[in-house]
Each structure stands twice: as C-alpha cells, then as structure tokens.
Amino acid sequence: MPISPEAPARHARLTAWRQHPLARRVQPALALGLEWAWAPALRALGWWSRRSTGARRADAADWQPACGRVVVLAPHPDDETFGCGGTLLRHRQAGDDVHVVCATDGRRSRALPVTPTEMARVRRDEAAAACAVLDVRLHWLGWPEGSWDLATGAAALRALLEDLRPALIYAPSWIDFHPEHWRVAHALAASLSAGIAGAAPWVRVYALQVPLTPAWANRVCEISPQAGRLERALQAYASQWHSVARGWRQRRNAARQHGRGRLLEEFCDLTASEYVASHAQPPETWRVSLRGLRHTPIDDGRVYRLVWRVARAARRRSSGGRLSRPDTADPAGRP
C-alpha cells in the first residue's frame, strides 16, 4: 500500500505533540485510567481463554533456564529488549550464554529527522548499549530494512545458527502485523527447514506489539525483580522512547490475563518442525489480520479480542501444530 505524501508531516506533528511538556504530564494519567478501565475485561477474556473447552492447553508453564546457549532473533534493533528483555536477564542470571541477532538495521524508523543511513547508525549504537546492559552478545546482520533478499537472509541465518548451535531460539512469528517481522520469521523457518548441524533447538515465539494472550502462550516468565535493570536497557533505545510505556503495559496485561504475577513476558514453545510448518509459506500468502497495541490503551480491548478470535479460527480450521495459522489448510481437507 503506497504511503500518503502527508504521512511524514502527520507523523512529525504527532511526535511534536507527544514531546510537548503538557502532553508528557497528561498522557500518563489518561493512559493509566484507560488501562484500569480495560483491566476487568482483559482478566475475564484471559480466564475464558484458559478455561474454554476449545483451548489446546492448560495454564502456561513457568519459565525455566535453557541450560545451554540461547539465541534471540530480533527483526529490528530493540525487539529483543521490548519483547523479552526481562527473560534474557533471567537467562543470564541462571548462567545461560545469550546471543542477540539483529536482522535488519531499522533504517526506516521515522523517530528522528535524519537520513536512513544515519538512522541505521543510531539504532546500531542503541542496540550495542542495550545489549551491554542485558549482558548479552550482539550479532549485527544489518540487512537494509525493507530491501533485503529472503534467500540471502535465510542462508546467513543458517550459517550463524550452525556456528552458534543454540539449544533455544527466541523468534518472531506470524502473530504480528509488521511485514518485516513476518519476513524475518519466514527466513528463520527457511534456515531451520533442513535442520541445524549439531543442534536440535527449540523455538520460543515471543510477543512484540501483538500480545500472545493465553490463547497461544504456553510459557510465561515473571520479570518483576528484573524491572529496574530492564528499564535501563529500554532507556538505551532513546530514539524509540515512545514504545516504552506500551511495553510495560503489555507485561501488566499479560499478568492480568494469566492470573499471576505483576509483570509477565509470554511465549509459545515449539519444536523446530512446528515453527517451520507455521512459517514455511511466503508471508505474502498469509491471510492474517491482527492489530498491535497503541501508545495509549484506547483500543486494548479490541486488540486482545481480535487475537482471541484469530486463535479460535485457527483451532477450527486446522488440527496441525500449536501455532497453525487460521489460513492454513487442514490436513484432513476441511475448508
């Protein structure tokens, strides 16, 4: 879909308003009020997702150390911290060796009035600073956002994974709306399709702007004790400051929906073959419509209800893997 010529100007006006001193005072209070207003409905929807007869699993299991090497595939610089930064801190505290792989360079972000090349440099520096706080190793692939080749990307990922031989891979998934997240998930599936020499990793899907909810999540991690250090890692992404409040709200909502803890990061554990089956087809063929959380909670209820509806549709249409898309044909031939 072509971008309207007026879009950059609208974005600039919105950014200027968010940075206005009055907005910075008013917005947090409004956002907190809206979040509290949605809380009872989200708790009820979470309870129903966990207890409905159509659910595939019981309550999500608690996080456990990997007891091996962990690789986090981040479509953009910041996805690893915003998506599962608290869990990465727990992995490091447990002694796991953690490697963050940044796939694209994030040059298309319009957060700063700079050229794409300068934006890519800023985001690489921010990623290095955040990974230092998280005490993880950064691997910068730096594909130019929006213009990289899938086959070349899959080959690069495969070579890196064969070198690292992880026991666990944190990955994006089709439960998203961002086309670049979809393409990176597809590239990972392509790299895993023939297996990784010397390794048989599990894949742990993590939530980005679209929450997994109890409809999909089968593992959760309480990260309240890690909140202070995670906040410092998030602050390293100064150009993306507007996403910080949304990330904390998503973790609080996860705790409400799963009925435990204060700050939860949620995941869906899959075998490599299950992940490949759900992401093997080109993203252009994925007929999935989801929405991400906005900067304010004004339509949080709609976002979570849509995730629940997509999950229900997937269960009805497919008897395949745990993360089958609703547009995937059923093995038995049902429409």
CATH number at residue 122: 3.40.50.10320
48 in a structural domain: yes
Give 27-38 pLDDT, tens digit per residue: 777 777 888 888
320 pLDDT exceeds 70? no
Mean pLDDT (whole number) for 53-80: 84
Task: Look at residue 330 in the predicted model and tell me its pLDDT.
Answer: 37
Mean pLDDT within 203-221: 94
Residue 48: pLDDT band with limits 50, 70, 90: confident
The pLDDT value recorded for residue 17 is 56
Least confident among 47-51, 176-180, 220-224, 325-329: 325-329
Q: Is residue 95 part of a domain?
A: yes
Which domain covers residue 98, as residue numbers? 37-317
- Work out the number of other CB atoms within 10 angstroms of the CB of residue 197: 10
Average pLDDT, stretch 122-147?
Answer: 97
Distance CA 55, CA 214 (A): 9
pLDDT band at 54 (very low <50, low <70, confident <90, very high): very low
Whether the pLDDT of residue 106 is over 80: the answer is yes
CA dihedral over 140, 249, 50, 174, signed as positive or negative: negative
Average pLDDT, the chain: 87
**Which pLDDT does position 147 carry in this prediction?**
94
Q: The sheet that has 97-104: what strands, in order across it?
A: 61-62, 219-222, 264-271, 202-206, 168-171, 69-74, 97-104, 137-143
**Is 8 among the domain residues?**
no
Q: Report if residue 18 sits inside a domain.
A: no
pLDDT in tens, 222-259: 999 999 999 999 999 999 988 888 999 999 999 999 99
% of the chain beyond a pLDDT of 70: 86
8 pLDDT band, cuts 50/70/90, is low
Q: Phi, psi (5° rounding) for residue 56? A: -85, -20
Backbone dihedral angles phi then psi of residue 325, each to the nearest 5 degrees:
-80, 155
Does 316 score more than 90 pLDDT? no
| Structure-token pair, residue 178 | 């961002």
Least confident of 1-10, 29-38, 108-117, 160-169: 1-10
Question: Mind listing the pLDDT tens digit for each residue in 174-196?
Answer: 999 999 999 999 999 999 998 88
* pLDDT score at 87: 98
Q: What is the CA radius of gyration of the chain?
A: 19
Decide if 44 is inside a domain: yes
Is the entire prediction scored with pTM above 0.85?
yes
pLDDT bucket at 263, cuts 50 / 70 / 90: very high
Give the pLDDT score at 334.
Answer: 28
Strands 69-74 and 202-206: unpaired
Q: How many domains are there within the chain?
A: 1
**Has residue 12 been placed in a domain?**
no
4 has pLDDT over 90? no
333, part of any domain: no
Question: Does 234 map to a domain?
Answer: yes
pLDDT score, position 245: 87
Residue 3 exposed, middle or buried by CB count within 10 Å (0-12, 13-18, 19+): exposed
Predicted pLDDT at 55:
44
- How far is C-alpha 261 from the geometric centre of its chain's CA atoms? 20
